């Protein structure tokens, strides 16, 4: 995907020393960080759209934010899991390369006003979609989150079951893991702090990608 004109211009600009009393983003270095992220994002979209990408992979350890005005899902599951980074990942910090997450699986999802952003170290890569009257749609969608908020309602919900026996979203957790599942889920004012996401198909109408000083 092409970079915005602003980001492209920044990539050619020389490093500017920080002024007194405040930091300043080094545009050349930030642009170099951003290019692999854009390429990787495009590859991920291609693989998930083809249903090639499995639900388990080594996470980068760089979290990303998802917000949406509303989400409707048919076939919902949620249970705990551990995500793993590669050995000696520079992003592992004090976690030992493991992050405790809540896996949310939705068989079929419709999302309005989707925003996704990732902090690249002084500048954010931001994606908007589904904000022009046609919602984002996804099949076999999973997200690995360590924070989620919003106003939610469920139909035919089951709480406390063994995640390894769940069937409503087609995803199974590990035996003995506490979970919940429901026929449908509806959420408004969605806010997620995620480490991974996959889908068998993911359609993003009115997609806009840009760099910004602010995330979602």
Closest of 138, 140, 145 to residue 204, by C-alpha:
138
pLDDT at residue 20 is higher than 90: no
The residue among 20 and 213 whose pLDDT is bigger is: 213
Strands 124-129 and 64-84: unpaired
Residue 95: pLDDT band (50, 70, 90) is: confident
| pTM score | 0.74
| 130-161 confidence digits (pLDDT tens) | 999 999 999 999 999 999 999 999 999 999 99
Q: Report the phi/psi class of residue 160: left, alpha or beta, with left for phi > 0 and alpha for psi in -120 to 50.
A: left
Closest of 211, 204, 210 to residue 68, by C-alpha:
204
CB 172 within 8 A of CB 56: no
Give me the helix-helix angle, 5-12 and 27-49, nearest 10°.
130
Q: Give the pLDDT score at 189.
A: 97
pLDDT at residue 182 is higher than 90: yes
């Amino acid at each position: 995907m092409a970079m915005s004109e602003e980001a492209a211009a920044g990539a050619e600009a020389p490093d500017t020393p920080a002024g007194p009393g405040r930091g300043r983003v080094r545009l050349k270095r930030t642009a170099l960080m951003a290019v692999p992220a854009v390429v990787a994002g495009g590859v991920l979209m291609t693989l998930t759209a083809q249903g090639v990408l499995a639900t388990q992979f080594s996470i980068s350890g760089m979290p990303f934010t998802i917000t949406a005005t509303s989400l409707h899902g048919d076939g919902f599951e949620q249970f705990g899991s551990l995500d793993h980074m590669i050995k000696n990942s520079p992003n592992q910090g004090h976690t030992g390369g493991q992050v405790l997450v809540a896996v949310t699986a939705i068989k079929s999802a419709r999302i309005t006003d989707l925003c996704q952003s990732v902090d690249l170290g002084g500048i954010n890569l931001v994606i908007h979609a589904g904000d022009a009257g046609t919602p984002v749609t996804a099949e076999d969608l999973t997200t690995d989150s360590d924070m989620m908020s919003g106003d939610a309602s469920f139909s035919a919900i089951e709480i406390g079951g063994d995640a390894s026996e769940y069937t409503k979203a087609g995803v199974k957790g590990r035996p003995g893991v506490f979970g919940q599942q429901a026929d449908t889920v509806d959420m408004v004012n969605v806010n997620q702090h995620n480490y991974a996401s996959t889908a068998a198909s993911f359609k993003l109408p009115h997609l806009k990608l840009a760099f910004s000083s602010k995330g979602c």
